Amino acid sequence: MKNIPRIFIGDNVQSGMIIPLSRETAHYLTHVMRRRDAIVFGGGNEFCAAVDDAGKNIIVGENTGRADPSGDVTLYFAPIKRTDDLINMATQLGVKKLVPVITEHTNAPHINWERMRKIAIEAAEQSNRNSVPEITSPIKFADVDLSHIAFADERAAYGNVRAKTTKINSIMVGPEGGFSTAEFAAFDSAGATPVSLGATILRAELAAAIAITRVQK
């Protein structure tokens, strides 16, 4: 349904629920958009909804039956300065799960993950998804099972690796400083699938967006 405001109200949303609106969302619906109707979504489902007479609650109506266009890709990514852009683009591209990975060259110490979650919610609302990707707590590179993932391998841009195409739906992208020698060795010895993103070196956030499209079905 075009042009109706879309609001994420939680993964467990169901028909018949009456959910209090935050002051911000109530203002957005009734004063900015000047509407009483909305689409609400979460957990892969989408519902018609209406703001109550007091303008304080949203009443969840019927399930629209529209299938969630979200995909099944898990993106492992090293936090970067532009993590907000990375999360915004990855969400628009339908990523299911985002896993921050602290690599040797990761240099982004002060990321506000609550803000990142808000960015994912806004991007999901705008991109017609019925779900918001999960953003996990950051994990260490050493704790990732490398045998079941692909990785965006910048060595492809130097012509000294033959990167494969893959049917795997999990991919890792490195930070601004790239993967370290030890990390490349770990990928190679675990049998992780190297993926080329072309002959040029891409910034990490663009690399992440393109990497997602390389493993999407």
- Stretch (H or E) spanning 120: helix 113-126
Do 77 and 208 contact (CB within 8 A), yes or no?
yes
**Least Cβ distance, residue 145 to ligand SAM (angstroms):** 18
- The least CB distance from residue 135 to ligand SAM, in Å, is 19
Site for ligand SAM in 129-158 (CB under 6 A): 152-154, 156-157
The reply to whether 95 sits near ligand SAM by the rule CB under 6 A is: no
Cβ neighbour number for residue 138 with a 10 Å cutoff = 14
CB of 163 to ligand SAM, least distance (A): 7
In the shown chain, the binding pattern of residues 58 to 77 toward ligand SAM, with x for contact by CB under 6 A and - for none, equals --------------------
Number of neighbours of residue 39 by Cβ within 10 angstroms: 19
Q: Among residues 85, 122, 134, 176, which is the contact residue for ligand SAM, using CB under 6 A?
A: 176
Q: Judge contact between 71 and 94, C-beta under 8 A.
A: yes
> Cα-flanking dihedrals φ and ψ of residue 203, to 5°?
-65, 150
Q: How far is the CB of 36 from ligand SAM (least distance, A)?
A: 45
Q: Is 173 in the site for ligand SAM (CB under 6 A)?
A: yes
Inter-residue contact 192 to 146 (CB < 8 Å): yes
Return the number of the residue (125 or 153) whose C-beta is nearest ligand SAM: 153
Cα(90)–Cα(78) distance, integer angstroms: 13
What does DSSP assign to residue 97? E
CB of residue 139 vs ligand SAM: minimum separation in angstroms?
17
User: Would you count residue 202 as binding ligand SAM (CB under 6 A)?
Assistant: yes
| In the complex, minimum distance from the CB of residue 137 to ligand SAM, in angstroms, rounded to a whole number | 21
State which residue, 64 or 180, has the beta carbon closest to ligand SAM.
180
* Nearest CA among 175, 207, 181 for reference residue 111: 175
Query: Which residues neighbour 210 within 8 Å (Cβ) at sequence distance 6 or greater?
Result: 152, 197, 202
Q: How far apart are CA 43 and CA 87, in angstroms?
A: 19
What amino acid is encoded at 57 in this protein? N
Closer of 125 and 205 to ligand SAM (Cβ): 205
Binding characters for ligand SAM, 181-200, by CB under 6 A (x = yes): ---------------xxx-x
Using CB under 6 A, list all residues that contact ligand SAM. Answer: 152-154, 156-157, 173-174, 176-179, 196-198, 200-204, 207
